[in-house]
Amino acid sequence: MLMGTSTDETTATTMLDRYLDAGGTFLDTANCYAWWHERGSQGGESEQVLGRWFARTGRRDEVFLATKGTAMVKDPDQVLVDGRPDWERAYQSFDGAGADNLRRSVDDSLRRLQTDHIDLYYVHVDDLSTPLEETLEALAGIVQAGKVRYIGWSNVRTWRLERIRQLCAQHGWPAPVAVQQQHSYLRRKAGLRHASIVDDEQLHYLQTHDDLMLVAYSPILKGIYDDAEKRADHPMMGAYAGPDAEARIATLGEIADEVGATGNQVVLAWLMHQTSPCIVPLIGPRTLEQFDTALPAVDIKLTDEQLTRLDAAGA
């Protein structure tokens, strides 16, 4: 997300090289990354960095490439207040999932990424104002044209996901294979109204539909698991703070000590150990240090007993 803006291109491409050299294959970006970094941006900086890297290295065929559309704001400068995004205003001005916008957005992403196809293309933010039939028929045409291999949905409620799947089955359109939501070790507070964070109902839905992969964004909640002081006043904790979070963090600390790792690393490892649903946790490092700190999570092997304790922890 940050490549080409707050992460300079030299650092970004060094990360990409190290990631692939270590065996990484999955890259996730979006056409709107990251318009909020500075005035005058129209988004697309991350895709452009990836495109130049593909062209220079010839490594496009080594990765499964995901990008997204429908959440680009029409006039970014109008929703920046004192240099920071006003997300409420931004949500009201997303370009949406209309057929013409989807076709245009895919072509623009292909150009920036310097590739002839996208492996996984997400509706970035579920668009309630556009008929699902219009969106799904357009996506089906894009897949049929060979521009996209698979589709996904992000920031979506479970009832909408079921309706999407019903329409795809009814019309023979390609159905989503991936759902990208905010998901971590901490559990969201009961009663929270939030379309983007996995709740119990959505988790159960994904567990009973094994043709859907859960792609978890913000899995370490901006790194709060390693820093009690950071947790105390971090905005990410607003959706999680409480006795349940405290109990799970305590157990997480015990397991981290046992395996000789950080809390953030254990959370990533715990997510990668999940099989129902199967989960791909995304990391979004801003610096090489953050990348190098996250990578050891791949090699952490949690025992069945440790996984049971982590799962059972809570108030």
pLDDT digits over 106-136, tens only? Answer: 999 999 999 999 999 999 999 999 999 999 9
pLDDT higher than threshold 90 for residue 301 = yes
Peptide bond into 169 cis (omega under 30): no
- Assign 13 a pLDDT band (cuts: 50, 70, 90): very high
The mean predicted confidence, pLDDT, of the chain is 96
pLDDT tens column, 53-67: 999 999 999 999 999
- CATH code of the region 9-176: 3.20.20.100
In the prediction, which pLDDT does 173 show?
Answer: 98
In the prediction, which pLDDT does 281 show?
Answer: 97
pLDDT higher than threshold 90 for residue 224 = yes
C-alpha 171/C-alpha 36 separation (Å) is 38
Mean pLDDT score, 9-34: 97
C-alpha 269/C-alpha 51 separation (Å) is 30
pTM attached to this predicted model: 0.95
pLDDT tens column, 238-279: 999 999 999 999 999 999 999 999 999 999 999 999 999 999
* Residues 185, 271 contacting (CB under 8 angstroms): yes
pLDDT higher than threshold 90 for residue 69 = yes
Mean pLDDT score, 87-109: 94
Domain parsing of the chain, residue ranges: 9-176
* Residues 1, 30 contacting (CB under 8 angstroms): yes
Decide: residue 14, CB within 10 A, 0-12 exposed, 13-18 middle, 19+ buried. middle
pLDDT higher than threshold 90 for residue 41 = no
pLDDT higher than threshold 90 for residue 147 = yes
Higher pLDDT, 78 or 287: 287
Of 19, 33, 150, 225, which is the active-site residue?
A: 33
pLDDT higher than threshold 90 for residue 75 = no
- Known catalytic residue at 33: yes
In the prediction, which pLDDT does 28 show?
Answer: 98
Residues in the chain: 315
